[in-house]
Structure 1
Amino acid sequence: MEAFKWNHSAKNPSLFLLSNWMDENKQLTAGFTGRDGGVSAAPWATLNMGLHVGDADRDVIHNRQRVVEAVGFPFEAWTCAEQVHGADVYKVTEQDAGRGRDSRSSAIADTDALMTDVPGILLASFYADCVPLYFYDAEHQAVALAHAGWKGTVAAIAKVTLEAMAAQYGTRAENVRAAIGPSIGGCCYEVDQTVIGKVLPILDSFELNGEEARNTLIKLLPNGKAMVDLKEINRQIMIKAGIMPIHIELTQWCTGCRQDLFFSHRMEGGKTGRMASWIGIAKR
């Protein structure tokens, strides 16, 4: 069953909600934006969430405000970072609330994972094929987001984020709920020898049962390239880090296959908008 449920209408932003999590905790909101229901002009049409792609800032801010309103938070809660395809994790405190919501200069610098246990903060990060990772620790009421492109994936940002949550909040991996959101799938993600050389060592660290299992993560092609499933690789990293497989939601949405619903940097030649992941626990 698809974990990210598409919630859309002609008048509202297109949202993909982690409905099961939200049903279990009415204070929690988590999900992923689609490409429709905003005000941006082509080629960012229409729900572009990124301030860094050449779109008019006023349109991006308006789009963000529409999403925040739709999920029931004030715009002042929206908190984000300048992503650099690394594996650094930042602890978001009450003083950080709202950073990056309306300007890049105020965003948290050089960070690809955010975590908080502060109610009322809405964490957000941005994508156009990379893999959004979600973490929810119900025991300590802490949440996190991580942005995993191939560089973040091979740097095991999922594991690094979990370790940071353990250090800061006492999070226990066996109790964590995790989710892997809409992103480019193994069906569409072709990589060259540079990426292959970085991916293979991390696959060797997994306890895979034979060549068939390995081929679900990477399929070598006759042209020397390969098709890589970043979503499944991140799932394996989460499992190795101690998260129970039954506690990991894995989306089937592929941003490459569904350009009608999502922006895809790979399929649209780099000139396109960005989706956003978000997660937050409302104040009581």
Structure 2
Amino acid sequence: MREPFVWEEEASIMTLTDWEAHFPGLVAGFTVRLGGESEEPYGSFNLGLHVGDDPEHVVANRKKLAEQVGMPFEAWTCADQVHGNRVCQVTAKGAGKDSLEDVIAGTDGLFTREKGVLLTSFYADCVPLYFLDPASEAIGLAHAGWKGTVGRIAEEMVKALQTHYQAQPGDIRVAIGPSIGGCCYEVDERIMAQVRTSTPNWEPAVSPSAAGTYMLDLRRLNREILLEAGISRANMLVTDWCTSCRTDLFFSHRKEAGPGKMTGRMASYIGWKETEGR
């Protein structure tokens, strides 16, 4: 399978080209760390206001992203991510675009079918999940670290699209974006105890490492949860980009951060442009 997130050299975004090609007016993708205003250790296209970067640099970067994807900055909408499994319907644009004071509180998943809303969320190794229901034109984003993954935020999003928009799970399209891969994500027994309860088919996502530790493929674990939630394998796109392997392109909390160290955040984004006839 070809890589679904396509990066053009020197660009600041990786485009989910298959979805954009098949659904006119849709913008969807993931950012890289290049081409922004932020200074080290946030160099240079940091989209997170919560990591200690100069807010003016972050807002400038967000405005640049909105411009690159052809959406007004006023469309930018985001939440305060807490590594949970709560998902929230978005009915108006603009939350959290230039301040932490008006973000959507305590939420790791956003969904809407409103036009002119750019849903965004932030990453430095966690898994971005993208959702699209062609029938209702509902879209969603979910931020899935290990806690959100074992909390089955992927399933929570599927249920929300069913409840609010009568989406059929077998018709929903899902894309799993750049994140730390099973090649680099080592976890201990404390995390594994919860992984084993997340889905009956957890084993393909785990391989033993050193004594008492394991390599965990969060993308694979989310895929198994999505399959269990009724998503068709044929409607799933999964990236091969690993944020820890490619710190030339991505911020990686696991690889770069630590005591006294900080790093920036990439953003996932999805939205429908406001156009005549929509």
TM-score, length basis structure 1? 0.94
- Counterpart position of 2:236: 248
Once the 2 structures are TM-superposed, how far is the Cα of residue 200 of structure 1 from its aligned partner?
1.4
Once the 2 structures are TM-superposed, how far is the Cα of residue 202 of structure 1 from its aligned partner?
2.1
2:115 aligned with 1:119? yes
Once the 2 structures are TM-superposed, how far is the Cα of residue 160 of structure 1 from its aligned partner?
0.5
Unaligned runs of 5+ in 1: 209-213
Residue 16 (structure 1) aligned to one of 14, 17, 20: 14
Task: Give the counterpart letter for 1:224 in structure 2.
Answer: G
Matched ranges for 1:232-243 at <5 A: 232-243=220-231
**For residues 143-164 of structure 1, what are the alpha-carbon distances to aligned partners after superposition, in whole Å with 9 as ceiling and x for unaligned?**
0000000000000000001101
Residue 136 (structure 2) aligned to one of 125, 134, 140: 140
Matched ranges for 1:166-181 at <5 A: 166-181=162-177
Q: Per the alignment, in what secondary structure is the counterpart of residue 236 of structure 1? A: helix
Unaligned runs of 5+ in 2: none
Matched ranges for 1:182-201 at <5 A: 182-201=178-197
Residue 158 (structure 2) aligned to one of 150, 155, 162: 162
- Once residues 267 and 223 of structure 1 are traced to their aligned partners in structure 2, the CA distance between those partners, rounded to angstroms, is 21
Q: Per the alignment, in what secondary structure is the counterpart of residue 5 of structure 1? A: strand
**For residues 220-243 of structure 1, what are the alpha-carbon distances to aligned partners after superposition, in whole Å with 9 as ceiling and x for unaligned?**
223201100000100111111111
- Counterpart position of 1:75: 73
Q: Per the alignment, in what secondary structure is the counterpart of residue 201 of structure 1? A: coil
Residue 227 (structure 1) aligned to one of 215, 232, 239: 215
Query: Is the CA contact (8 Å cut-off) linking 1:8 and 1:15 kept in structure 2?
Result: no
Matched ranges for 1:266-281 at <5 A: 266-270=254-258, 271-281=262-272
Task: Give the counterpart letter for 2:8 in structure 1.
Answer: N
TM-score, length basis structure 2? 0.95
**For residues 14-34 of structure 1, what are the alpha-carbon distances to aligned partners after superposition, in whole Å with 9 as ceiling and x for unaligned?**
111100100011200000000
Task: Give the counterpart letter for 1:199 in structure 2.
Answer: V
- Once residues 19 and 91 of structure 2 are traced to their aligned partners in structure 1, the CA distance between those partners, rounded to angstroms, is 23
- Once residues 110 and 67 of structure 1 are traced to their aligned partners in structure 2, the CA distance between those partners, rounded to angstroms, is 24
Task: Give the counterpart letter for 1:69 in structure 2.
Answer: E
Task: Give the counterpart letter for 2:226 in structure 1.
Answer: M
2:246 aligned with 1:258? yes
- Once residues 188 and 49 of structure 2 are traced to their aligned partners in structure 1, the CA distance between those partners, rounded to angstroms, is 29
User: Structure 1: which 4+ aligned runs deviate by more than 3 Å?
Assistant: none
2:43 aligned with 1:52? no
Once the 2 structures are TM-superposed, how far is the Cα of residue 282 of structure 1 from its aligned partner?
1.1
Q: Per the alignment, in what secondary structure is the counterpart of residue 128 of structure 2? A: strand
**For residues 73-130 of structure 1, what are the alpha-carbon distances to aligned partners after superposition, in whole Å with 9 as ceiling and x for unaligned?**
0000000000000000110002xx1110000111000000000010110000000000
Q: Per the alignment, in what secondary structure is the counterpart of residue 197 of structure 2? A: helix
Paired residues, number: 271
- Once residues 85 and 129 of structure 1 are traced to their aligned partners in structure 2, the CA distance between those partners, rounded to angstroms, is 12
Once the 2 structures are TM-superposed, how far is the Cα of residue 7 of structure 1 from its aligned partner?
2.7
Query: Is the CA contact (8 Å cut-off) linking 1:185 and 1:231 kept in structure 2?
Result: yes
